[in-house]
Chains A and B, each alone.
Chain A
């Protein structure tokens, strides 16, 4: 344990903890959007499309924080909005268009990064390294979390109508187009922020499990946002304190802890829980 105390006194450790709380909250908050839109699998495809953007940006601008993040954001926007565009202008549905775009670009990204000799970096982007975040990473993550929560909180009322039924929302004068693209952009920005934290594969977990857990506990959509944020932050913090003493990979630990939260909610939810149903049936 004294080892851990020592570790915790290093600035890098406290920075990692702060990153866990912040990214956990931001992703958890936005996970309500993903769950209410039933689009967690779609998020998986988009998070993979971050990779080719990084590859191309590194190819042209060299390996810097901004080129990596900028490239990831642009790739995700291109694939995400591109699939929307493709589905609106052809007979392909959006899922299919995403399937085409993301696999093709993911494969291209792998080839480019391997050719550039960046195998180790490739692993970091795939699986994350929250301990390795530097100041500019932190500022980017902070800005994205703050902006996202502000945007969604401001638009919460029309947003919930839109998430419930877009046609009804439009007939009520809700700015559906703004929300459609805004929601998409927000999710992609948050994905980018979690890229370094947990990597593009596990970020889907961070963007689904917190609100899924809340869904088992509440019938109020607003609570899925704030509760999701709290669960995301709590899960990441618990994982931080487990990972070092146990010498576990922190990205995986975060997702495992969140998965356990979801399991606990499934079993013991006061309104929905398996235990409650079992007791009632007896």
Chain B
């Protein structure tokens, strides 16, 4: 038995007081500045080719980070390494102070839409339910609780009416929202997205941009590769300019400068 708390919870438990000391989605409890993601000196190779060289990155929940760089700069590799799919040669990734070794339920990976087999026989709901796998495992039953979480994820992404539809019969924006709903069902704290805006029409892009705002406001951390330079400032808080190594990292208004962009994309 836990002892009954002697003091009623203070108001600050429910209201964020600052960015460093806030309430965020998930646990529903205060955690003083502990939800931080650190990428430290990360190097990754494919066979003999070095894909990432000494990459460093530091952010925390409630923010969105754009990964920007030319083709072959290592954006997808960085995403897959953070998601635990690719093993780094050296360096480490820390989430909430703990070293990530492999995958974590708190980190969701959302693949590029073009990498997904949309003809696969699965419904929207079936795909979102995959997010419960870390909880239910091979044989565990889907409990009321799991069903509620899936329902809520579908509702949040405005997919309730489409839940029985085959995933191939969705528009690009709906497909992207289905994957986000899967991440919500996973109760992920960090969403790592590979080119989420690619191939979406203008209204869908705007809707996704708005969703990004809502997800970060809830305290989630979003990391996404992005190739449209014009919209980086409108969507993201921070940007990592990548060219196998980090060219610059920081708040968009500080580091997303013509000089840095030139250094990232220019021929040297």
Enumerate chain A interface residues (CB-CB to B < 8 A). Answer: 36, 154-155, 157-158, 160-161, 163-165, 167-168, 170-174, 215, 218-221, 224
Contact of A155 among B111, B115, B138 (CB under 8 A): B138
* 8 closest residue pairs by CB, A with B: A171-B109, A171-B83, A221-B121, A172-B133, A219-B121, A170-B85, A164-B120, A173-B103
Whether A167 and B122, one on each chain, are in contact in the complex, defined by CB atoms closer than 8 angstroms, is no
User: Taking the complex as formed, is B166 at the interface, i.e. its CB lies under 8 A from any CB of chain A?
Assistant: yes
Whether B133 and A173, one on each chain, are in contact in the complex, defined by CB atoms closer than 8 angstroms, is yes
- A167-B120 CB under 8 A given contacts A172-B134, A219-B166: no
Whether B130 and A170, one on each chain, are in contact in the complex, defined by CB atoms closer than 8 angstroms, is no
For B93, list chain A residues within 8 Å (CB): none
For A171, list chain B residues within 8 Å (CB): 83-85, 103, 107-109
How would residues 47 to 89 of chain B score, 1 for a CB under 8 Å from any chain A CB and 0 otherwise?
A: 0000000000000000000000000000000001001110000
How would residues 119 to 149 of chain B score, 1 for a CB under 8 Å from any chain A CB and 0 otherwise?
A: 0111100010011011011110000000000
Minimal Cβ-Cβ distance residue in A for B166: A219
Task: Give the CA-CA distance A274 to B188 in the complex, in Å.
Answer: 43
Distance (Å) between the CB of A65 and the closest chain B CB? 35
For B130, list chain A residues within 8 Å (CB): 161, 164, 168, 172
Whether A170 and B122, one on each chain, are in contact in the complex, defined by CB atoms closer than 8 angstroms, is no
Chain A contact surface mostly: helix
For B7, list chain A residues within 8 Å (CB): none
Task: Give the CA-CA distance A155 to B138 in the complex, in Å.
Answer: 6
User: Taking the complex as formed, is B105 at the interface, i.e. its CB lies under 8 A from any CB of chain A?
Assistant: yes
Whether A220 and B121, one on each chain, are in contact in the complex, defined by CB atoms closer than 8 angstroms, is yes
Distance (Å) between the CB of A16 and the closest chain B CB? 34
Task: Give the CA-CA distance A95 to B246 in the complex, in Å.
Answer: 36
- A168-B103 CB under 8 A given contacts A173-B134, A219-B121, A224-B121: no
Whether B80 and A167, one on each chain, are in contact in the complex, defined by CB atoms closer than 8 angstroms, is yes
Whether A174 and B133, one on each chain, are in contact in the complex, defined by CB atoms closer than 8 angstroms, is yes
Whether A165 and B134, one on each chain, are in contact in the complex, defined by CB atoms closer than 8 angstroms, is no
For B108, list chain A residues within 8 Å (CB): 171
For A221, list chain B residues within 8 Å (CB): 120-122
Whether A215 and B103, one on each chain, are in contact in the complex, defined by CB atoms closer than 8 angstroms, is no
Minimal Cβ-Cβ distance residue in A for B164: A219
Size category of the binding interface on chain B: 20 to 34
For A155, list chain B residues within 8 Å (CB): 138
Q: Which of B107, B109, B134, B137 is packed against the most chain A CB atoms within 10 Å?
A: B109
Distance (Å) between the CB of B180 and the closest chain A CB? 13
Minimal Cβ-Cβ distance residue in A for B102: A173
- A218-B121 CB under 8 A given contacts A157-B139, A171-B84, A172-B103: yes
Task: Give the CA-CA distance A36 to B130 in the complex, in Å.
Answer: 17
Task: Give the CA-CA distance A148 to B39 in the complex, in Å.
Answer: 43
User: Taking the complex as formed, is B161 at the interface, i.e. its CB lies under 8 A from any CB of chain A?
Assistant: no
Contact of B111 among A163, A167, A218, A220 (CB under 8 A): A167
User: Taking the complex as formed, is B117 at the interface, i.e. its CB lies under 8 A from any CB of chain A?
Assistant: yes
Minimal Cβ-Cβ distance residue in A for B130: A161
Can you list 20 A-B pairs, Cβ within 8 angstroms, ordered by A? A154-B138, A154-B139, A155-B138, A157-B139, A158-B138, A161-B130, A164-B130, A165-B116, A167-B80, A167-B83, A167-B85, A167-B111, A168-B111, A171-B84, A172-B130, A172-B134, A172-B186, A173-B133, A215-B121, A219-B121
Task: Give the CA-CA distance A161 to B116 in the complex, in Å.
Answer: 12
**A165-B115, A173-B105 known; 11 other A-B pairs, CB under 8 Å?**
A154-B139, A157-B139, A163-B120, A164-B122, A170-B85, A171-B103, A172-B105, A172-B186, A215-B121, A220-B121, A224-B121
Distance (Å) between the CB of B209 and the closest chain A CB? 23
How would residues 228 to 264 of chain B score, 1 for a CB under 8 Å from any chain A CB and 0 otherwise?
A: 0000000000000000000000000000000000000
How would residues 29 to 61 of chain B score, 1 for a CB under 8 Å from any chain A CB and 0 otherwise?
A: 000000000000000000000000000000000
Minimal Cβ-Cβ distance residue in A for B116: A165
Residues in B174-214 with C-beta less than 8 Å from chain A: 186
Minimal Cβ-Cβ distance residue in B for A271: B166
- A36-B103 CB under 8 A given contacts A164-B130, A171-B84: no
Distance (Å) between the CB of A33 and the closest chain B CB? 13
Whether B85 and A36, one on each chain, are in contact in the complex, defined by CB atoms closer than 8 angstroms, is no
Minimal Cβ-Cβ distance residue in B for A91: B47
For B109, list chain A residues within 8 Å (CB): 167-168, 171
